[in-house]
A and B are shown apart, each in its own frame.
Chain A
């Protein structure tokens, strides 16, 4: 029989209702009439955030498959912030670029509901359905600018490789089901613990296949091939949403599945993750150095950051688990800010996302240039930004778990990555303006979003202890 508590579903319901309201508003909107559909989204997201805060420490579970434990609620908080920032940035981009507002907000909010489901899911089937909700909406959002062939091609490539990896993920669920007879993560965990002495090839197969599925979603090398094209082809604001929300949700589910259900087999999957983490950090950084398109460069930067997160996952000790959560929060705010700036500076017919388009930005748009600089410094991991603290804790966790090699690789790649981040900063400050075509004014909402983002980056970087404590307390509930 199912659990009588509906509490854990409330954040998800808030977001879904907001999405439905957005669709209804679009349906009843007169032609040419302007409606603040984004406001509906904001209301829903704030409601979801408030309900998540109220659910803190209550460990509510619903239907046996959703657990609103502190870990899930923390990630939900990150996702709500991602959603709010995305809506704030989107408001001026949509009209400028001719994107249908109602459908855009509806898809974005539905995707977000899928992400929250993934963060809270206690069942592999629910993880799968939530993954599909999140992904299908994002495939559509990537190609929502039908007039741009590169967006459509990016959307197809993303869809193809996404569906391909979903099939692998599903096969992994099948083998897990075959061994355990259930898809509930807690039941699987107990069974695995009981069986850990027996080396069952089916379990190894299952773990491998599940890992392939997850690694695709978080753009781990060598499953990262879709990321540069998808991030470059999609509208900048969609890329910001994708690179932060999808990664956070997928990582949360990855951590939950492998650190609780498959934890007894950690000796088997840890070496694989070691290799993947190292490869991802190295390839992401090295190839990123060669990029001249800002969105593509940030795509490789995202790939590298996935590698750092994997290091935290691998460390799997107390510090490591809290570090993952903190890093996700820092990374989400930072990446969204960077893509937000790119989105706001674009124009309908040209993306203005090449490196040279940013020449002399400091002279013409100092506020945006400052935000971009702060975001890039945070991505590079320089103090006093959020990124610095995040990386510090990840590497500290790695060292305390004994993974000195990975920590060294991580530090080295961070140092190299600072090079390509600083290159953009230098471009913005030094050269004279060459390119016209950037919009003259940033709307109030956009500036508000930028202000929030920059504040968050510094807050996490200078006063991280509050959030870190929160993250540490979140871990104890499930692991």
Chain B
């Protein structure tokens, strides 16, 4: 398939699935739709000569983070009626929500205007640089462990904080019922 067709296919899938995510009543459906969207994004990453990141996206995002979400959704076992029942609830949302949605739309329009009006963006995305260099895993490793060394170590602190935090908030305490 020509590259353009692939791009439009993946892009449409990503956008469509994401748009459906926020409209679902059942959180389980939302999570599964988001997994589909992430898969489409992985496809886009492959088109951008980033195969390692694409695989990481599937493994980490779709495979770990979304599974965590699924666990929590199933654990909480919230009944479906919790979400708004009324099919026109979206339209009859409170005023502030409507303002927010309008603001989001304005944001999109402004971003699109800015992106379309900048001259430097019209060129093909893979004009600069060599595809072989950009997609090579050894190159990724080299740059990660030299230029980004400190950020890498700092991230370990971040993960530790998240672990401690999750246990503190959600774990069982000895003196609780």
Contact surface of A with B, Cβ cutoff 8 Å: 1-2, 9, 16, 23, 31, 62-66, 100, 103, 106-107, 110-111, 113-114, 117, 123, 125-126, 129-130, 132-133, 136-137, 139-140, 143-144, 146, 155, 200-202, 204-205
Contacts and interface: CB of A to CB of B under 8 A. Distances in A.
Contact of B165 (A31, A65, A140): A140
B131 interface: no
Contact of A107 (B117, B148, B158, B161): B161
Interface residues of B, number: 24
B157 A133 contact: yes
Given A64-B147, A125-B151, A201-B118, A103 B168 contact: yes
Contacts of B167: 103
B160 interface: yes
A180 to B, nearest CB: 13
- Give the dominant DSSP class at A's interface: helix
Contacts of A23: 164
A201 B151 contact: no
B146 A129 contact: no
B20 interface: no
Nearest to B114: A201
B82 to A, nearest CB: 16
Nearest to A137: B161
B169 to A, nearest CB: 6
Contact of A117 (B154, B160, B162): B154
B164 A106 contact: yes
B161 A110 contact: yes
B162 A136 contact: yes
Contact of A201 (B117, B146, B161, B168): B117
**A-B complex: 6 closest residue pairs judged by Cβ atoms:** A140-B165, A63-B150, A201-B114, A103-B168, A110-B161, A129-B154
A2 B168 CA distance: 36
Contacts of B114: 201-202, 204-205
Nearest to A179: B120
Nearest to B165: A140
B155 interface: yes
A65 B152 CA distance: 12
A2 B146 contact: yes
B122 to A, nearest CB: 13
Given A130-B154, A144-B168, 12 more contacts: A63-B150, A65-B150, A100-B173, A106-B164, A110-B160, A110-B164, A126-B150, A126-B151, A132-B158, A136-B158, A140-B164, A202-B114
6 contacts: A63-B150, A65-B151, A129-B154, A129-B155, A140-B168, A201-B118
B149 interface: yes
Nearest to A2: B149
B111 interface: yes
B168 A136 contact: no
A63 B118 CA distance: 34
A16 B158 CA distance: 11
Contacts of B148: 125
Contact of B150 (A16, A66, A204): A66
A129 B162 CA distance: 13
Nearest to A181: B128
B157 A143 contact: no
Interface in B48-107: none
A28 to B, nearest CB: 16
B168 A107 contact: yes
A66 B149 CA distance: 11
Contacts of A2: 146-147, 149-150
Nearest to B145: A2
Contacts of B150: 2, 9, 62-63, 65-66, 126
Contacts of B149: 2, 63
A64 B149 CA distance: 10
A103 B157 contact: no
Contacts of A201: 114, 117-118
A199 to B, nearest CB: 10
A136 B157 CA distance: 11
A132 B150 CA distance: 15
